[in-house]
Structure 1
Amino acid sequence: MAAGPALPSDSRLADVAALDASHAWAVGYQGSTYGGPEPERPYALLSWDGSRWAEQTLLDKPTSLGAVGASSADSVWVLGDDAYRALAYAARWDGSAWHAYRPFPDDHYVGLNDVAVTGRDHAWMVGGSTGRPFIAEWDGQGFKRVFTGTNTGPTSARLMAVTADGASDAWAVGRTNDEPLIMHWDGTSWSETPTPSIAGGELWGVHKISANDVWAVGAIDRESLTPKPLLLHWNGTTWRSVTPPVAAGALYGVTGDQSGRLWVSSYNNAKTTFLRYVDGQWTAVAAPTSSDRSPFVQNLASVPGTTATWAVGTAGSQYVIALNGALG
């Protein structure tokens, strides 16, 4: 466990990104973000310098932060909500300062859930808008909508996660029409990719190892008392359903390295289990518990150039930052 700065009880970290052993960022919120007077620093933004986590300050305060992505130490993005203005929020670190944006100030219905940074002047952002999946692009000059899907009815469609490692290949996942939704960028346009028909399925995480090796995770019937894990794999031709090593619960975060090793966070009955994929085999590993309760791990990030993995979330009344070098 890596110690972080003191945050109020009931704080949560929602996402983490790492460039190497000396550069990582984690985002979330401090305490309760709703109700009562506006807190002074409701969001949580932490940075890792190789030896400790330190809190960073945004001049234009969002209500909470839910996503972070980075391509270099001078190209970092965080996304969140500005609930007091009912607008989506984004901020960019250029190596010396944070720059805040309301990407679509005339649209109070855009929510941005994840970001993939592909260069100093480019990033993909995904979410939802009026019940429809939504993709936006930052081109170094401003934001533009590149895809807005259709409203599929009472179960709102949205994109929850995006992964990309260059200009010509990106994946975004979520749900539509109460089934999993997967979008692909081929360097020219975004298009929906056929997926297995899974009623009640939705995807929350995606990780690309190579053009022929992509993993997506989520759950079936998440809001029921008995959700089931959802694990999909892209082999370069089709998406196929894979049986995970746990039969119940929901899958949240997924990360991996270029050797093909993967880690997935699973949560069921107030207990986190890590799913490990090595040499073509999935196994389940129990997460460590605290005196309060088992942590809820919302997201993971492998540390390039090492066998370490960052895990973030919450445990009882405390937030969690964990680094486990044995995960690799």
Structure 2
Amino acid sequence: MSRRLSRRALPLCVLLTGVLTSALTRATPAAHAHADPSRPRAAERGPVLLQESATARLQTDGSLSDVAGLSKSNVWAVGQEDVWEAWQNRGVITHWDGASWSRFGIRNDASSAGHLRSVAIASPREIWAVGEGHDGLPYVVRGDGSAFDRVSVPQLGTGDWLGGASALPGRMVAVGSRDIKPSDPGAKPGDRGTTTLIATATAKGWTAVGGGARGALYGVALAQKGDGWAVGDRGTEPLIMRSTGSTWKPVTVPSVEGGFLRDVYIDGPKKAVAVGGVYHDGGKIGPLILTWNGKRWSRASVPDRHAELYGVTGDGKGHFWVSGFDSEHPSEAFLLRGGASGWRVVRGELSAKPRTIRLQAVTHVGDLTLAVGHVVDTGDRYTDVVERFQPNTSKSAVTNGTSSPPSER
């Protein structure tokens, strides 16, 4: 979870409009557990990391879109199965308890969810997910950790779309877009396109405000006292909106022609990181990272000029991790690690078989960095993927002897 593509399309290049259209759940049986994958492998060079490549065992053509964690034994992820079936795909909610993944269905769900794009955790008993329903309406889910229900939001309707969410106890914000209508204030005859949409849930109920800016929002992060950032694009350039209470307003950002943003992480009043990409001639996409220093947003230098960046997280202490895809190394998991000394690339194992791996979101809890997404093989078959990275605290690192370990440069 750019407007130069379809409204519902994330910049994932090869995906169908109905697959990751940043489109598309029938209730699934609760608590279907899976065994823990094999032991991790060790890094050979750079800061020593243990890497483990696994799967949450989604069904046919599955993909995970977002992940959020409270601890190493309490991680939630959402996505979809049957990604090629725009009207039959099924949204997925799954949980990692430190040993296995468990599936959860959705109650109060007459039409079923399609693509669940974003998950947000306010507390262990307040988990939210947003995406798209097969009834043509935005899909909002709330759970208490043991059961999930679809939430009806009367303020949302046809032409509205939600792609990102963030939550604090008692407050959830979901962002997306709203189709421009001839009756909208300021709309001109023949106006087309979208405006930003921000939906907020509190103890007082729901509000849904559109029209803050032309374009769409894909990611949002909340801080305490109502502060927050939301990111997206205007169709041809990045868009960032700021909340300093209950009002969201666009802010000045560096001019980046063809730029778009997909996720944002807040590290404090004087530090935030937003990630995305830049469209270049020929349809190629390069990486884009913007950083906030308490006064202004500026563009950061990125070591890989081919990467597409989708998700960002941090540890609250000035260290950041960014998930994405590197078209020059499509078969290797790709992360960026950032801090005071700049950004460095972390690559996963080199696959012996041709494949394309995209890590669409990332979370960091304790010393665990966990990224999720999908792998596409040469037959265009999707398999969900979970990549885990942890420091290697042992004196000797053990490799499996069959594949290359992760590397950092």
* Corresponding residue number in structure 2 for 1:233: 291
Q: Aligned partners of 2:210, 2:295: CA distance in 1, in Å? A: 23
Q: 1:127 aligns with which of 169, 172, 176?
A: 176
Does residue 56 (structure 1) correspond to residue 104 (structure 2)? The answer is yes
Q: Aligned partners of 2:260, 2:99: CA distance in 1, in Å? A: 37
* Aligned counterparts, 1:3-18, within 5 A: 3-18=54-69
* Corresponding residue number in structure 1 for 2:186: none
Seen in structure 2, the aligned counterparts of structure 1 residues 9 and 171 have a Cα distance that, compared at 3 Å, is: same
CA deviations over 1:191-250 (Å, ceiling 9, x no partner): 111001111111001111111000001111179432111110000000001111111232
CA drift of 1:173 comes to 0.3
* Corresponding residue number in structure 1 for 2:389: 324
Q: Aligned partners of 2:225, 2:372: CA distance in 1, in Å? A: 28
CA deviations over 1:155-184 (Å, ceiling 9, x no partner): xx1000000132331000001151110011
Instruction: Confirm or deny: 8 A CA contact 1:87 1:102 kept in the other structure.
Output: no
- Matched length: 316
CA drift of 1:95 comes to 4.2
* Corresponding residue number in structure 2 for 1:201: 259
* Corresponding residue number in structure 2 for 1:45: 93
Instruction: Confirm or deny: 8 A CA contact 2:175 2:220 kept in the other structure.
Output: yes
Q: Aligned partners of 1:17, 1:292: CA distance in 2, in Å? A: 29
Structure 2 unaligned regions, length at least 5: 1-51, 180-193, 377-381, 394-409
Does residue 311 (structure 1) correspond to residue 371 (structure 2)? The answer is yes
Q: Aligned partners of 1:69, 1:29: CA distance in 2, in Å? A: 16
Seen in structure 2, the aligned counterparts of structure 1 residues 167 and 94 have a Cα distance that, compared at 3 Å, is: farther
Seen in structure 2, the aligned counterparts of structure 1 residues 222 and 114 have a Cα distance that, compared at 3 Å, is: farther
* Corresponding residue number in structure 1 for 2:338: 277
* Aligned counterparts, 1:295-306, within 5 A: 295-303=357-365, 306=366
Q: Aligned partners of 1:9, 1:148: CA distance in 2, in Å? A: 38
Q: Aligned partners of 2:155, 2:253: CA distance in 1, in Å? A: 34
Query: Secondary structure, in 3 states, of the residue corresponding to 1:295?
Result: strand
More RCO (CA 8 Å, sep 6+):
2
CA deviations over 1:253-283 (Å, ceiling 9, x no partner): 1111022111112323235421111343211
* Corresponding residue number in structure 2 for 1:113: 163
Q: 2:322 aligns with which of 264, 282, 294?
A: 264
Does residue 145 (structure 1) correspond to residue 208 (structure 2)? The answer is yes
Q: Aligned partners of 1:33, 1:215: CA distance in 2, in Å? A: 32
CA deviations over 1:108-133 (Å, ceiling 9, x no partner): 011111111011x2111100111111
Does residue 21 (structure 1) correspond to residue 81 (structure 2)? The answer is no
CA drift of 1:149 comes to 2.7
Q: Aligned partners of 1:248, 1:5: CA distance in 2, in Å? A: 28
Does residue 183 (structure 1) correspond to residue 232 (structure 2)? The answer is no
Read off the aligned partner of 2:71 and give its amino acid letter.
D
Q: 1:80 aligns with which of 119, 131, 150?
A: 131
Q: Aligned partners of 1:244, 1:267: CA distance in 2, in Å? A: 14
Cα RMSD between the aligned structures?
2.2
Instruction: Confirm or deny: 8 A CA contact 1:267 1:296 kept in the other structure.
Output: yes
CA deviations over 1:9-50 (Å, ceiling 9, x no partner): 3210000000012211000001235257x46xx111101122
* Aligned counterparts, 1:91-110, within 5 A: 91-104=141-154, 107-110=157-160
Read off the aligned partner of 2:347 and give its amino acid letter.
A
Q: Aligned partners of 1:87, 1:249: CA distance in 2, in Å? A: 33
Greater radius of gyration (CA): 2
Identity across the alignment (%): 29
Instruction: Confirm or deny: 8 A CA contact 1:200 1:220 kept in the other structure.
Output: yes
The answer to which of 175-184 and 105-114 deviates more is 105-114
The answer to which of 55-64 and 73-82 deviates more is 55-64
Structure 1 unaligned regions, length at least 5: 152-156
